[in-house]
Amino acid sequence: MIQNQHDNDLLRLKNLHTGFMIDGELHNAIVDVNFNVKPKEVVCVVGESGCGKSVMSLSIMQLLPKLNSKISAGEILFNGEDLTKKTDKEMNKVRGKDIAMIFQEPMTALNPVFTVGSQLQEVLFNHLEITSKDAREKSIELMRQVGISRPEKIIDEYPHQLSGGMRQRVMIAMAVALHPKLLIADEPTTALDVTVQAQILELLKDIQEKEDMAIMLITHDLGVVAEMAHKVIVMYAGQVVETSDVIKLFKNPKHPYTKALLNSIPRMDRDEEKLNTIGGVVPSLENMPQVGCRFAGRCPKAFGDCTKVTPKIAEVSDGQSARCLLYEECYPENHINEKEEIKL
Amino acid sequence: MLVYTLRRIAIMIPIIFLVSVVVFFLANMMPGDALSGKIDPLNSDPQYIADMREKLGLNDPIYVQYGHWISGFLQGDFGQSFVHKLPVSELVLSRLPNTILLAVIAMFITYIVAFLMGRYAGRRPNTTGDYGVQILNYLALAMPSFVAALLLIYFVSFQLGWLPASGSIGSGIEPGTWDYIVSKIKHAVLPSLCLGLLPIASYTQFLRNDMIESAQKDYVRTARAKGTPEKKIYNKHILRNSVIPIVTLLGFDLAGIIGGSVIIETIFTYPGVGQLFIDSISNRDYTVVMAITMLLTVMTLIGNLIADILYAAVDPRIRLD
């Protein structure tokens, strides 16, 4: 049964752990991450700063610094192939062509000493046998498609001559140039102002529909999630704590963290004087609790078991999974429920 | 760009003028004057000395003397050297090609060695290879140029006999022949190496450090995300950014080497402008001293200008139009 469910997954993360070496010891930044992205699906990954969203996306692309980081366990299956087993050269064939990525800071993402056009053509030359003339024409066409006006002129300009929104459009053009099946967008609009943000999101939606492309959109902005997502993955302290269909997430969040996040969105339609916050901070990598729920210290619904029993993620209703001991499914096997103990 | 360059050249003129005033007055404040270098005060007739002073215009008010000097200067007459009994222009011009050869070879060696070592170390930071390069750098930085010169003379010239240790040309060689060129270059190699020691060390460090910093920049990550091979990442994306500071140093180097050659030329008895400068100071040959100081000034200013132009050429963010 489960086999069929995952047969046509575009991307599947299985039990992924990625860690960093700090003072000679391996500390996992993300632990036991499982989720899948289907073709043409838009999956939004949400979470606080430091929850591991970027580490996860960089792990997929194998872009983490090799010096002190490694994927310590798990598989990344893309179209059935395990990306963790690929060499650098093999990954280079995948990057930019099958999976593309755009980043958060358009201001620094482009090389300042090369023209925008030459950087755009670079992705073409990397993967195709193409003449300079054709590459240039294709680049102009790509820039037109992402909404850059007068592309014949912009192609010879340098990044510092363009605005943030235009640079991000160039990044998107570079990313979709070779019609990748999956686009990973790591907070693409966070550094832009709201009107530009709306335009870029429109553009992404447009491209997604035209190209039949899946998007993994990483963000901390629930507004973006509401706008773009089919499916939402909520991360906290390096773990996935909830996976849900987008409408169900907003209507009926399952995990206390998700509820707290939705609760802290300021409401314009109510007369509220105080903003709701989530007390406390995310535990640091070195102080991460190895047993029990990682959110227990800040959770308003925490009870005795929460610091003693490590919850596993489990499906708690149709299309929604959560990692919380409030749901019996999340207790690990062969564990006696606290409540049952009392009964006995 | 053109307007910027012209404006810079225009500003150079008042600076040169100011420097000439300072140089002239400083030279005049030094003990003795143009005449004392020529004659022996004990043996000469005081009346003769007084007459000569008058004749040479050394009793005129100082601004008049300055006026004479600067007007001569602008007409290409840099005066007469008292020690060598030659026009200064002839004297300096006979030495200048030697020093220029030294400068060119030194910069050649410097940039090639620094580029290769810097790129090697920058690509593999904190490895044994990198540590090796850095140790060499510290040695080169710590060693005074005259110590290096003496060591090189002893080992390369004396023990191994590979390269000559003094002069700029072998004896009895006809100018204009191939042998002449080879001999000139051979004589310039050791002094150039000593001249280049410090710049090699600093440029290697510069390049290495800049490469390590650039490797962590966002645009490198973007290039990787496009599937660009690692070699191209270094040789194209990173290097193209990291050479910017080095290229701009070329301009400053130009002037620095002419001035820095003073000690080296003396040790190697290499007949260049630097050696002439030192000799003229000790001999109180003021016309030569002033002429060479002005030359160094102009070269420094031109060097700065070249550095700025090169900077704009390699870094598109700096184009000023």
pLDDT of residue A183: 95
Segments making up each domain of chain B, as ranges? 2-74, 96-318
Which residues of B lie inside 8 Å of A (Cβ-Cβ)?
A: 217-219, 221-230, 237, 240-241, 244, 314-317
Q: What is the pLDDT of residues A185-205, one digit of tens each?
A: 999 988 888 888 899 999 999
How large is the average pLDDT for residues B136-161? 87
Position B255 pLDDT exceeds 90: no
Q: Does residue A232 contact residue A44 with C-beta atoms inside 8 Å?
A: yes
pLDDT of residue B121: 92
Tokens of residue B212, six digits? 């390590």
How large is the average pLDDT for residues B95-122? 89
- Nearest-10 crossing angle of helices B178-214, B145-152: 130
How large is the average pLDDT for residues B8-29? 85
Place of tokens 């009107």: A195
Phi, psi torsion values for B75, nearest 5 degrees: -90, 5
pLDDT of residue A344: 45
User: With pLDDT > 70 as the criterion, what percentage of chain A qualifies?
Assistant: 95
Q: CB atoms < 10 A from the CB of B84, how many?
A: 17
Comparing A104 with B35, the larger pLDDT belongs to A104
* A72 burial via Cβ count (<10 Å: 0-12, 13-18, 19+): middle
pLDDT category of residue A154 using cuts at 50, 70 and 90: very high
What is the separation, in whole angstroms, between the first and last Cα of chain B? 5
pLDDT of residue B164: 80
CB pairs under 8 A between A and B: 73
Interchain pair A111, B241: CB under 8 A: yes
Cα nearest neighbour of A108 on chain B: B218
CA-wise closest residue to B198 among B155, B251, B148: B148
CA-wise closest residue to B105 among B163, B174, B151: B163
CA-wise closest residue to B284 among B29, B108, B21, B92: B29
Interchain pair B228, A126: CB under 8 A: yes
CA-wise closest residue to A200 among A211, A191, A185, A188: A188
pLDDT of residue B204: 93
For residue A88, give how far its alpha carbon lies from the nearest alpha carbon of chain B (Å): 9
Q: How far apart are CA A10 and CA A77, in angstroms?
A: 8
Q: How far apart are CA A217 and CA A246, in angstroms?
A: 13
pLDDT of residue A5: 63
Interchain pair A122, B226: CB under 8 A: yes
**Candidates B123, B126, B226, B228, partner chain A, best to mutate (most A CBs within 10 A):** B226
State the number of CA atoms in the 13 A half-sphere of B204 facing the CB: 29
Domains of chain A, first to last:
2-98+180-343 (3.40.50.300), 107-179 (no CATH)
Residues in chain B closer than 8 A to A171 (CB atoms):
222
Residues written for chain A: 344
Q: How far apart are CA B318 and CA B321, in angstroms?
A: 9
Position B42 pLDDT exceeds 70: no
Interchain pair B227, A111: CB under 8 A: no
ipTM: 0.85
Position B28 pLDDT exceeds 60: yes
Q: Does residue B312 contact residue B318 with C-beta atoms inside 8 Å?
A: yes
Which amino acid appears at position B122 of this protein?
G
For residue A307, give how far its alpha carbon lies from the nearest alpha carbon of chain B (Å): 39
Q: How far apart are CA A282 and CA A54, in angstroms?
A: 16
Mean pLDDT is lowest, of A100-109, A133-142, B58-67, for B58-67
CA-wise closest residue to B237 among A114, A115, A104: A114
Residues in chain A closer than 8 A to B130 (CB atoms):
none
pLDDT category of residue A1 using cuts at 50, 70 and 90: very low
pLDDT of residue B88: 83
Mean pLDDT is lowest, of A32-36, A91-95, A99-103, B56-60, for B56-60
Residues 317-336 of A with CB under 8 A from B: none
Q: What is the pLDDT of residues A294-305, one digit of tens each?
A: 888 888 888 888
Cα nearest neighbour of B221 on chain A: A63
Phi, psi torsion values for A149, nearest 5 degrees: -85, 155
Instruction: Please state, rounded to an integer, the average pLDDT across all residues of chain B.
Output: 83
Closest CB from B223, B228, B240 relative to A113: B240
Position B231 pLDDT exceeds 60: yes
Interchain pair A114, B217: CB under 8 A: no
pLDDT category of residue B226 using cuts at 50, 70 and 90: very high
Cα nearest neighbour of B231 on chain A: A89
Say which CATH class B96-318 falls into. Answer: mainly alpha
pLDDT of residue B27: 76
Phi, psi torsion values for A36, nearest 5 degrees: -135, 155
Interchain pair B223, A122: CB under 8 A: yes
pLDDT of residue A6: 67
User: With pLDDT > 90 as the criterion, what percentage of chain A qualifies?
Assistant: 48
Tokens of residue A6, six digits? 């995952």
How large is the average pLDDT for residues B240-265? 80
Dihedral, B68, B70, B71, B74 alpha carbons, nearest 10? 150
Instruction: Please state, rounded to an integer, the average pLDDT across all residues of chain A.
Output: 88
How large is the average pLDDT for residues B258-267? 81
For residue A101, give how far its alpha carbon lies from the nearest alpha carbon of chain B (Å): 6
What lies within 8 Å, CB to CB, of A58 at 6+ separation is A64
Residues in chain A closer than 8 A to B221 (CB atoms):
63, 103, 109
Helix segments in A95-163, DSSP class H: 116-127, 132-145, 151-154
pLDDT of residue B308: 82
Place of tokens 């960093």: A20
**Candidates B217, B220, B222, partner chain A, best to mutate (most A CBs within 10 A):** B222
Residues in chain A closer than 8 A to B226 (CB atoms):
95-96, 100, 122-123, 126, 174
Comparing B43 with A233, the larger pLDDT belongs to A233
pLDDT category of residue B47 using cuts at 50, 70 and 90: confident
Position A340 pLDDT exceeds 60: no
Q: What is the pLDDT of residues B179-202, one digit of tens each?
A: 888 888 888 888 888 888 888 998
Closest CB from A88, A109, A160 relative to B219: A109
Check CB contact of A156 with chain B, cutoff 8 Å.
no
pLDDT of residue A337: 54
Helix segments in chain A, DSSP class H: 2-6, 53-61, 88-94, 116-127, 132-145, 151-154, 164-176, 194-211, 222-228, 246-251, 256-263, 338-343
pLDDT category of residue A42 using cuts at 50, 70 and 90: very high
How large is the average pLDDT for residues A74-85? 90
Position B90 pLDDT exceeds 90: no
Residues in chain A closer than 8 A to B230 (CB atoms):
88
Position A62 pLDDT exceeds 70: yes
How large is the average pLDDT for residues A42-46? 94
Q: How far apart are CA A112 and CA B314, in angstroms?
A: 11
Cα nearest neighbour of A125 on chain B: B228
User: With pLDDT > 70 as the criterion, what percentage of chain B qualifies?
Assistant: 92
CA-wise closest residue to B102 among B17, B221, B188, B7: B188
For residue A299, give the 3-state DSSP assignment. Answer: coil
Position B49 pLDDT exceeds 90: no
CA-wise closest residue to A283 among A268, A293, A270: A293
Helices vs. strands in chain B: H and E counts, helices first? 12, 0
Considering B74-78, B87-91, B217-221, the range whose residues carry the highest mean pLDDT is B217-221
Check CB contact of A92 with chain B, cutoff 8 Å.
yes
How large is the average pLDDT for residues B122-131? 90
pLDDT category of residue A255 using cuts at 50, 70 and 90: very high
Interchain pair A114, B240: CB under 8 A: yes
Q: What is the pLDDT of residues B67-87, one digit of tens each?
A: 877 787 777 777 777 777 788
Q: How far apart are CA A241 and CA A257, in angstroms?
A: 8
Interchain pair A112, B316: CB under 8 A: yes
